[in-house]
């Protein structure tokens, strides 16, 4: 098998799920004839037809609302946000309608909302967002943010088959940069499970999505200095795999969280609270964070570079933490 890109893995997941189950439909802006702004749905219209690959007006609330309505009939719609930045246009529909239905009136909404997210590609303030934490704060949703083609395919398939609304963030920096051989045929990756990407004993490095690769790069550099970082890919942010986090931190006694989301209100703060509550006695040092700055995502490459975390920043923070 030739290695596939992150993008191709996502396309394969949708293609295979639609082929296997006629209740799976795709709805979004330019997902049909054009095959999606990033070509993630290329070829789906030709294969599955107009009724299953639905081009819509530029109306994110309508896309989410209609997908929710279809899900009430037992269909399993995939709603695409052309850029995930635009998901906030449908914020009310997602957080008040889709997320609360099962709890309030026993109405499951088996749907996936997916789209390209993240910075590092000079997309500017409205095409680079990491809005995951708006939704991690919303009970009733599941939030997935993969870092590898294998996981992207397996998690998306699991998301489509899940009975709950699943938000699936696709870091666009990874779309064509990351390739990997993935198994032919059907497989899934369970939602809510983190994975150890690199074993280590001196400190735990928690990350996800594009920053996963940055963290692994930093871990390699740290290893050269004798610091063995255990790198964990969270993969799903809601529900968070607390067990995997606690298990690693109880071993290494130190924790560094790296995320591309901005600092205040990022998942690192939540993880810090969990560790304080459940592993305080195990900690030999403070939880440190390497995150984007608390600003909008700036456009100029010099500014965006200053805004984003990178391997050097992770390396420096890890060195500081290792001193404890």
Partner 1 sequence: MPEPHRKPPLSRQQLLDLYYYMRLNREVEETMTKLFRQNKIVGGLYSSLGQEAISVGTAYALENRDWMAPMIRNIGALLVKGVPPRDIFTQHMAKYTSPTKGKDGTSHFGDLDNLHIVSPISMLGDLIPVMAGIAIGGRYLGQKIVTMTWIGDGGSSTGVFHEGLNFAASQRAPFVLILENNQWAYSTPVRRQVPIENLADRAKAYGVKSYIVDGNDVVAVYTTAKKAVEEARTGEGPILIEAKTFRRRGHAQHDPAEYVPQEQREFWEKRDPITLYEEFLLKEKLLDAKGKKEIENKITALLDKEREFAENSPMPPPELVHEGVYCTGDDCHKIRPKWERPSAEVTPPKSSVEPVWTVEGFGRGKASAGGNAPIHFGDVRAATKKPAGTAEHTEKRVKAPPHKPAKLVAKSAARGKARR
Residues noted as catalytic: 127
Rg value, the chain, Cα: 19
Distance (Å, rounded) from C-alpha 287 to C-alpha 181? 35
267 contacts: CB under 8 Å, gap ≥ 6: 132, 133, 136, 234, 237, 240, 257, 259, 261
Residue 82 lies near partner 1 (rule: CB under 8 A): no
Nearer Cβ to partner 1 (62/272): 62
Residue 119 lies near partner 1 (rule: CB under 8 A): no
* Least spacing, CB of residue 145 vs partner 1, in Å: 18
Could you tell me which of 13, 24, 90 has the C-alpha nearest to residue 53? Answer: 24
266: left (phi over 0), alpha (psi -120 to 50) or beta: beta
Residue 280 lies near partner 1 (rule: CB under 8 A): no
Residue 88 lies near partner 1 (rule: CB under 8 A): no
Residue 75 lies near partner 1 (rule: CB under 8 A): yes
Nearer Cβ to partner 1 (156/290): 156
Strands (E), 152-303: 166-171, 179-180, 195-198, 203-207, 229-233, 236-238, 255-262, 288-292
Residue 264 lies near partner 1 (rule: CB under 8 A): no
Contact segment (CB under 8 A) with partner 1 among 96-104, 212-220, 287-295, 296-304 equals: 96-104
Q: Which of 74, 185, 224, 277 binds partner 1 (CB under 8 A)?
A: 74
* Least spacing, CB of residue 19 vs partner 1, in Å: 7
Interface pattern 125-144 for partner 1 (x via CB under 8 A): --------------xx-x--
Which helix H or strand E contains 53, and what residues bound it? strand 53-55
Contact segment (CB under 8 A) with partner 1 among 88-96, 173-181, 212-220, 303-311 equals: 88-96
Distance (Å, rounded) from C-alpha 90 to C-alpha 248? 37
Residue 92 lies near partner 1 (rule: CB under 8 A): yes
Residue 100 lies near partner 1 (rule: CB under 8 A): yes
Distance (Å, rounded) from C-alpha 260 to C-alpha 262? 6
DSSP lists the bridge partners of residue 229 as 203
**Number of residues forming the site for partner 1 (CB under 8 A):** 54
Residue 101 lies near partner 1 (rule: CB under 8 A): yes
Q: Which of 14, 68, 113, 211 binds partner 1 (CB under 8 A)?
A: 68
Measure the N-to-C terminal CA separation of the chain; round to a whole number of Å.
46
Distance (Å, rounded) from C-alpha 250 to C-alpha 247? 5
* Least spacing, CB of residue 285 vs partner 1, in Å: 34
Interacting residues toward partner 1 by CB under 8 A: 19, 22-23, 25, 33, 45-52, 54-57, 59-70, 72-77, 92-93, 96-97, 100-108, 110, 139-140, 142, 163-164
């Amino acid at each position: 098998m030739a290695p596939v890109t992150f993008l191709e893995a996502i396309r394969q997941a949708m293609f295979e799920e639609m082929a296997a189950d006629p209740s799976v439909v795709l709805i979004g802006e330019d997902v049909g004839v054009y095959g999606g702004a990033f070509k993630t749905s290329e070829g789906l219209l030709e294969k599955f037809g107009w009724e299953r690959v639905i081009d819509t007006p530029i109306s994110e609330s309508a896309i989410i609302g209609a997908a929710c309505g279809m899900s009430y009939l037992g269909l399993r719609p995939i709603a695409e946000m052309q850029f995930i930045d635009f998901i906030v246009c449908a914020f009310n529909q997602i957080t008040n309608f889709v997320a609360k239905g099962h709890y309030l009136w026993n109405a499951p909404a088996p749907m996936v909302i997916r789209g390209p997210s993240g910075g590092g590609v000079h997309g500017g303030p409205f095409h680079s967002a990491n809005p995951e934490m708006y939704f991690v704060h919303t009970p009733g949703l599941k939030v997935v943010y993969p870092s590898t083609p294998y996981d992207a395919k397996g998690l998306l398939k699991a998301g489509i088959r899940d009975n709950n609304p699943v938000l699936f963030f696709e870091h666009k920096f990874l779309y064509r940069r990351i390739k990997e051989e993935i198994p032919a045929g059907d497989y899934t990756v369970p939602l809510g499970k983190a994975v150890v990407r690199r074993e280590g004993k001196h400190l735990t490095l928690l990350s996800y999505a594009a920053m996963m690769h940055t963290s692994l790069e930093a871990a390699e550099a740290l290893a050269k200095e004798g610091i063995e970082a255990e790198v964990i890919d969270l993969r799903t942010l809601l529900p968070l795999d607390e067990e995997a986090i606690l298990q690693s931190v109880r071993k290494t006694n130190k924790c560094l969280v790296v995320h591309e989301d901005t600092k205040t209100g990022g998942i690192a703060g939540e993880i810090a609270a969990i560790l304080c509550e459940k592993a305080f006695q195990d900690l030999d040092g403070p939880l440190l964070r390497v995150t984007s700055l608390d600003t909008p995502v700036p456009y100029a490459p010099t500014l965006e570079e200053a805004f984003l975390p990178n391997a050097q920043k992770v390396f420096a923070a890890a060195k500081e933490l290792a001193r404890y």
